[in-house]
Amino acid sequence: MTVKVTVTGAAGQIGYALLFRIASGHLLGPDVPVQLSLLEITPALKAAEGTAMELDDCAFPLLKGIDITDDPNYAFNGTNVALLVGARPRTAGMERGDLLSANGGIFGPQGQAINDHAADDVRVLVVGNPANTNALIAQRHAPDVPADRFTAMTRLDHNRALSQLSSKLGVPVTDIKKMTIWGNHSATQYPDLYHAEVGGKIAAELVDQDWLKDTFIPTVAKRGAAIIEARGASSAASAANAAIDHVYSWVNGTPEGDWTSAAVVSDGSYGVPEGIISSFPVVSRNGQWEIVQGLDIDDFSRGKIDASVKELQEERDAVKELGLI
């Protein structure tokens, strides 16, 4: 069966890195035909058409068709997988309230369109920042869709954490299991080495604590800014890759003996208030994310998780005050 995948912000830089990998079978698997739906704002439709022309020119065997539109109701009609990438970036002089309002104006109507038109099995990944809170806004506008179908991306942070630890220890990334990003996709996120394992040993015991606290955590949390500094543009190919990883794991499952990180609707696990969209250690079974249960959280980790969750609560309260949820 052909799977319909909607990508918003399709003409942007992440869109350009993402669409070709979706069309070549990396999002869902090498045997799954895809229909692409590209949603853009009106001024960017022409650029989206250019990208679609290039997609055509790849003659991807799995790509069954491409629609391009500026109408969310049309873009999400019958959608099975929605990748919400397009967002309003923070510009100079913009206060947090302005940023949240501008994004509420995007993610509210998109959530509503998903509610009204998407397929029953729709799965939503929000990439556009502030990703967790944008996902919350979309989810609250889609009361008929199970809340757990709305997720936000922390897989890029997860992959960054794997890579930093791998180079520190001189081990392949495949030797590292059970990495976790907790909290918000922001500088307050908490990459946790106290549960990560390398060759069966706890990662935090293989590195010195100064490195863990003063180098590893800030390097992972501030990697986005370091990429902008070096590249002159924000991470795009790595963000697209992480979106591919997130959906692939969600649909096809996570390997036994390992987990990954995703921002999902909290059920109250680990003291994270119910209803906010926060990153957790998760496994995917039968196409559903489950929060890994029963981990001991030490005082250091507790403080870090609480600080990031507090930021998420503040964002939630701010969008509530603005009438966006």
Interatomic CA distance for residues 238 and 71, integer angstroms: 28
Q: Which residue is nearest to ligand NAI (CB)?
A: 12
Give the range of 35-43, 115-123, 140-148, 308-316 binding ligand NAI by CB under 6 A: 35-43
Give the range of 80-88, 167-175, 187-195, 215-223 binding ligand NAI by CB under 6 A: 80-88
If one asks whether residue 45 binds ligand NAI (CB under 6 A), the answer comes out as: no
Q: Are strands 123-126 and 150-152 parallel, antiparallel or unpaired?
A: parallel
Nearest CB to ligand NAI, comparing residues 279 and 284: 279
Q: How far is the CB of 198 from ligand NAI (least distance, A)?
A: 24
Give the one residue of 19, 39, 62, 324 binding ligand NAI; rule: CB under 6 A. Answer: 39
Interatomic CA distance for residues 260 and 107, integer angstroms: 25
- 185 classed as catalytic: yes
Torsion, CA 162, CA 306, CA 221, CA 325, rounded to 10: 110
DSSP H/E element including 263: strand 260-265
If one asks whether residue 185 binds ligand NAI (CB under 6 A), the answer comes out as: yes
Q: How far is the CB of 24 from ligand NAI (least distance, A)?
A: 19
Interatomic CA distance for residues 279 and 250, integer angstroms: 14
Which residue type, as a one-letter code, is found at position 222? K
* Burial state string for 144-174 with b = 16 or more CB within 10 A and e = fewer than 16: ebeeebbbbbbbbbbbbbbbbbbebeeeeee
Give the one residue of 6, 7, 9, 165 binding ligand NAI; rule: CB under 6 A. Answer: 9
If one asks whether residue 86 binds ligand NAI (CB under 6 A), the answer comes out as: yes
Give the one residue of 137, 198, 239, 325 binding ligand NAI; rule: CB under 6 A. Answer: 239
Phi, psi (deg, nearest 5) at residue 41:
-75, 155
Q: Are strands 3-8 and 81-84 parallel, antiparallel or unpaired?
A: parallel
Give the one residue of 22, 28, 114, 131 binding ligand NAI; rule: CB under 6 A. Answer: 131
Q: What is the DSSP letter of 158?
A: H
If one asks whether residue 53 binds ligand NAI (CB under 6 A), the answer comes out as: no
- The backbone region for 208, taken as left when phi is positive above 0, alpha when psi lies in -120 to 50, beta otherwise, is beta
Q: How far is the CB of 83 from ligand NAI (least distance, A)?
A: 10
If one asks whether residue 183 binds ligand NAI (CB under 6 A), the answer comes out as: no
First to last CA, the chain: 35
Furthest C-alpha separation in the chain: 55
Nearest CB to ligand NAI, comparing residues 9 and 191: 9
If one asks whether residue 44 binds ligand NAI (CB under 6 A), the answer comes out as: yes
Task: Give binding residues for substrate as ranges.
Answer: 90, 96, 129, 160
Catalytic residue among 141, 185, 195, 246: 185
Q: What is the DSSP letter of 276?
A: S
Task: Give binding residues as ranges.
Answer: 9-15, 90, 96, 103, 110, 127-129, 160
Give the one residue of 7, 156, 217, 265 binding ligand NAI; rule: CB under 6 A. Answer: 156
If one asks whether residue 269 binds ligand NAI (CB under 6 A), the answer comes out as: no
Give the range of 138-146, 175-183, 200-208, 235-243 binding ligand NAI by CB under 6 A: 235-243
Say how many CA atoms lie within 13 Å of 134 toward its Cβ.
25
Q: How many C-beta atoms surround the C-beta of residue 228 within 10 A?
A: 12
Which residues form the catalytic set?
Answer: 185
Contacting positions for ligand NAI (CB under 6 A):
8-9, 11-15, 39-41, 44, 85-87, 89, 106, 127-129, 131, 153, 156, 185, 234-236, 239
